[in-house]
Each structure stands twice: as C-alpha cells, then as structure tokens.
A and B are shown apart, each in its own frame.
Chain A
Amino acid sequence: MASDNNKKSSSENGKTETKNHRRTYGIQTPGTKGIAGTKRYAMVVDLRKCIGCMSCVVACKSEFGVPLGVWRTWVKVSDKGTYPNTKRMFMPRLCNHCDYPVCVRNCPTQATFKHKDGFVLQRYNRCIGCRTCIVACPYNARHILPAKRSDKNLPYEVVDKCTFCFHRVKKGLVPACVQACVGGARIFGDLNDPKSEIARIVAGETVTVLKPELGTQPSVFYIGADWEMMDETHSYNNRTVQLKQEFNDFKRNHVVDGYGDIVEGESTMRQVGKNMGDFLNSIPHKASEVVKAFKKLLFE
C-alpha cells in the first residue's frame, strides 16, 4: 500500500520539487502534517504485533552497514509483573523525523535538514562532528560514526541517523525495517494521503508518540505502548542489575569522541580527569590524520 502511494507521489511530484524548497532549516521548520498538496511520511509501530525478533534491527544494520556499538534502530525490551503473571514488552525505536526537529535548528553548519516530504536527513560532507544535534535530540536517535571503519571510504567521525530509508522510499519501496518486520508491526506511508494505510490507522486508532510535551511533533506513532517504557526517568530507574553492569562496561570499554561517560558507583572527578587524559591522548592521533589529509590534498 505504502509503496503504491510512493510510486504515485514520486511521479506526480516532478514539478512541485522544483517549486518547493527541498531542504528546510530554521528555528521552526515548516510542519507539513495535514497540509494539502504536501507529503508527510510517517511510521506507525503497532506494539501488539511486535514479537521482539529484532529483524528490523538486523535489516537496518545490513542495509546501511551500521557499525558495532551504534544503532539507527533498536528495540527496547521490558518485563512487567511478577511470576506467574508476567508480560514482556517491546518498543522499537528509531529517529522520529519530527515536524519541528530540534536537531535541525541547532546544527551550526546546515548539515542536518528537513526534506520537504518530512524526512530529517544528514549530510556527511557538511558535518563537523560537533555533536550538537546529538545533545539536542530528545530521542537518542543520533550517533557518531566510529573512527575505524572496515571500509575506509565510508564516512567516519561524523553524525549519522535513521533516514526512514529515503533512498528506498524515493524508488517506491518501504524502509528496510518495515520490509523485514515479520509481524507487520511497522507500517509506513504518507500521512497526508487520506487513502494510505497509515493515515487510516492514525485517524482511527489510539496512537501515542514519545515525549509529546516537547512539542517536536514526532512522526513515529505507537499503538499499545506502555507508559513506563515511554518514560525516560522510569526507564533509567528501573533497570535490571545485569543491564546496569552492562551499561557501565559499555562506558568503560568504549573510547569515543565526547569523553563524557561517567561510570556509576565510581569516583566522578577521577573519571572526569581520566576523560580529559583520553581526550589529550587523542590529539596526536587526530593531528596525524589532519596531516595525512593535507598531504593527500597537496601532493596527490
């Protein structure tokens, strides 16, 4: 259904693309939800159908070669109740492609922008790796690509995010995670097209979004979401002991740009000092990269 609509809209849109701005920036980028003559791609995640198979995560990883330790989409898993009355809940997460994205307005180099059809996209060639957008994003949807990639031609040390599979959608396909979802939990399409499946679902079902109080107007809707999973502080305060340990190990073992990870239960100021040491140690390595780049530019 979604793919049919996409095909139709991409052929129809030949003229309007030249008229409308393809990229928008600004304090409040113009929202396109419900505006006639525009498109607003969105996703509904029906959590009643999600079985937690992680196919979406795998499909996304293979579609984009997402490196280890970072995710464009992931599934949060939670347990509720006590034995024998228990329930396991899943919540797939991805970029919300907000109608009023904070990341777009805060980016200092116009590296991130909102496409007129609602996609919030990233331009690697403009990104300076300042991580302003990561700080701005309330949904943790952004990550910085590691310095060491298996293929040296791939972008590194720049910010990356979910694109709603823009490259597939413009060819009339649905995103890879939607294609791979075995339960049919993810539904994708144009919200402004009243005939689309997603428009009918959003109009007829009770849907929720993450952090609606921030006014970002997310374009990822959930059906059957548990409030505790949607709550930032509740999630932080209610983790298994094992998960806490894993998170601490993650912070200890990952040396990345940022140098702000503080392991719980250990001296804060000592770690602040260690982070500063790690940062200073990284300078010669980065400097050599810069020298190499200049040599390549001047002599090759």
Chain B
Amino acid sequence: MGYALTTMAESSVVIANAFHHVAWGTPISVYFWLVGASAGSFVISSFGWVFGIKRYKPLAMTASLQAIVLLLIVPILLIWDLGKPVRFIYLMLPGYWHSTGPMAWGSLLIFSYPISMIVYVWFVMKNDLFWAKTTGIIAIVLAISTHWYTGVVMELNPGRFINHTALAPLLFLTGAFISGIGLLILILWVQNMIVAVKKRIDWSLMEEMAQYMMYGIVFDCFLLFLEFMQTFYGNQHELEGHETVLMGIFRFPYLWLELVIGLIIPFFILVSPLKRNKYGIILASFLVAIGVYGMRVWWVMGGQYMQTFF
C-alpha cells in the first residue's frame, strides 16, 4: 500500500507535445527600447520650450533630433516584422481598424508622434515660443502615450502572467525616461567634442540630468520591487515564471543586465563623489542605456517563453 501511495504521488512526465514559437522576438524588444529612448529624450527636449526652464533650451534641438532619428528606425522593425509587410496600411484604414486592439491604437500613435515632433522642431528652429510650446505639449502627450502603449500591448494578455500587470506602462515609462537621458548624455558628450567651444553644452547641465536619471533609477527599482513582490506572492505561474524563466533562461538580461549593470552600478556611481566626474556620468549613462534593453528582452520574450510548450 505504501508503495502504491508512493508511486501515485509521482509527477507525470510529458513525453510528446507540439512545440510553438515565441511570436514576438528581438525586433520587438529593440523597437520597445528605441521608442522608450525617443520618448525619454523628448521629455528632456521639452524642458526648455514647454516647461520654461531656460537653461535646457540649448539642448532642445539635439534631444528632439535624437528622438526623431530613433523613431525613424521603428517602421523598419515593425513593418518588416509583419508577415505581410504591405498590409501595414490596414492598421490605418477605417474599414479595418479595430478599436479594441491595442496595436490599432499604437499604430496611430507611432504615426502621429514623429509628425508632432517634426512640427515642434520646426517652431523651435523658427524661435516661435507660443507655437513651440503648443506643439510641444501635444508632442509630449503623444511621446508618453506612444511608450505607454508599448507597456499596454503586452499587458493586455491575461495568459502572459509575467506581463499581465498594471505596473507595465509605468515600468516602461520609467525605463524610457532613464534610457533617454542616458543616451542623450552620451550624444551630447560626443557633440561637445565636435562643435565649437561656445556652442558646447555646459557640463553642469549633464550633471543635473544625471541626477534626474538617478531619481528615475530609484523609482524603477521601486517598481521592480513591487513586481517582484507580486510574482512571489502571486499564483504558481507567476512564481514559476520568475524562478524558471527570469532567473533561469533570462538570468543575464534580467538579473545582470537590467538590475546589476543597468540600475545598481549606475545608482552607486550617481550617489558617490563620481557624480561630479565627467567619465563617471558617462559610464553611468552608458550602463543605464544598455541596462534598459535587458528589461525589454526579458519582458517581451520571457513573458511568452513558458507557454511555448503548453
């Protein structure tokens, strides 16, 4: 009887099943990173012209152009990732547009956000304060919405336990903010090396942006802690998803790239005396920018991973 009970307690082992692919892969994770960095740098661009912080005006043009260039890469990734690339136009056609599909909202946002940025940049170039501010407000709302949508498009899948959290858009937006600043600091550093001395951006501005980045890192860590709590006190799928997928297959992008390289090391750089050091800030910016990509990888592919065998 004891033997029978022992054998009955044995777990079943799957010996045959159909295999499935992870439907959204690397191109989508790169797209999420690009949109995030674009939105983050555009927020900095608007500091001078929209929020009236005059010392940020000189870097508005660089930040806006960075945001536009990053966003111009996006259609290449998204359109060629479709099974039927030419049919991307269906996403805009009234007869096809499906109002409840998150991707339908996203396609409109991705289309309108760069246009609004270009209009804003045009008024910035013309030094027209009123219209730059007006179009800047529209563009900043679209920038935040575009990146909000990238969180939502993965969130609204109840079957993807790791992604199905209301924190998703906030996590994406915070990551966008810090990666956008990180990338902007790197680009401004390179720009300062090229342009004439009087056109260089004051380094104290970089130090200030690095401090904003530090606050973003703290908030991102807090959100990740909340996410961690939810998975640990959540259902079996969430717990197993964390243990097997995030700490297993995606250990490097999750634990090392995002948490250690992208958040913890930059945080300690930016709270130590190194925050006054030019190369300390550059290093922290670089680490944050690549660290956020780690989050995009585990978020997109990790969320879909376990179900490929179900």
Contacts and interface: CB of A to CB of B under 8 A. Distances in A.
Interface of A: 25-27, 71, 74-82, 85, 89, 93, 102, 105-110, 126-132, 134-140, 143-144, 156-159, 211, 213-216, 226, 228-229, 231-240, 243, 246-247, 250-251, 254, 256-262, 264, 267-269, 272-273, 275-276, 279, 282-283, 286-287, 290, 293
25 contacts: A76-B17, A79-B15, A102-B157, A105-B100, A106-B101, A108-B103, A109-B90, A109-B91, A109-B97, A109-B98, A127-B87, A138-B158, A139-B159, A156-B83, A214-B159, A215-B158, A231-B236, A233-B241, A235-B17, A239-B17, A259-B26, A260-B24, A262-B249, A269-B257, A272-B253
Nearest to A124: B84
A93 B18 contact: yes
A257 B26 contact: no
B126 interface: no
A251 B308 CA distance: 11
Given A75-B16, A106-B156, A158-B83, A268 B253 contact: yes
A166 B100 CA distance: 25
Nearest to B301: A260
B89 to A, nearest CB: 9
Interface in B81-110: 81-88, 90-91, 96-98, 100-104, 107
Given A135-B304, A233-B306, A256 B21 contact: yes
B82 A128 contact: yes
A110 B179 CA distance: 35
Nearest to B154: A135
Contacts of B204: none
Given A226-B12, A247-B309, A272-B29, A81 B20 contact: no
B157 A106 contact: yes
Contact of B15 (A136, A243, A251, A260): A243
A262 B27 CA distance: 14
Contacts of A130: 81-83, 103
Contacts of B244: 233, 236-237
Contacts of B81: 130, 257, 259, 279
Given A228-B11, A233-B236, A269-B252, A157 B84 contact: yes
A131 B83 contact: yes
A171 B4 CA distance: 51
Nearest to A87: B12
B205 interface: no
Interface of B: 4, 7-8, 10-30, 76, 80-88, 90-91, 96-98, 100-104, 107, 153-154, 156-160, 235-237, 240-241, 244, 249-253, 257, 297, 300-301, 304-310
Given A85-B4, A106-B157, A261-B25, A235 B101 contact: no
A283 B38 CA distance: 24
A129 B241 CA distance: 27
Given A126-B96, A157-B83, A78 B15 contact: yes
A71 to B, nearest CB: 5
B252 A268 contact: yes
Contacts of B22: 258, 260-262
A135 B300 CA distance: 10
B87 to A, nearest CB: 4
B18 A71 contact: yes
A82 B7 contact: yes
A206 B22 CA distance: 34
Contacts of B30: 276
Contacts of B11: 80, 228, 234, 238
B13 A279 contact: no
Given A140-B20, A215-B158, A239-B309, A132 B103 contact: yes
B7 A131 contact: no
Given A108-B98, A234-B11, 8 more contacts: A80-B10, A93-B18, A129-B84, A130-B103, A215-B158, A238-B13, A239-B13, A276-B27
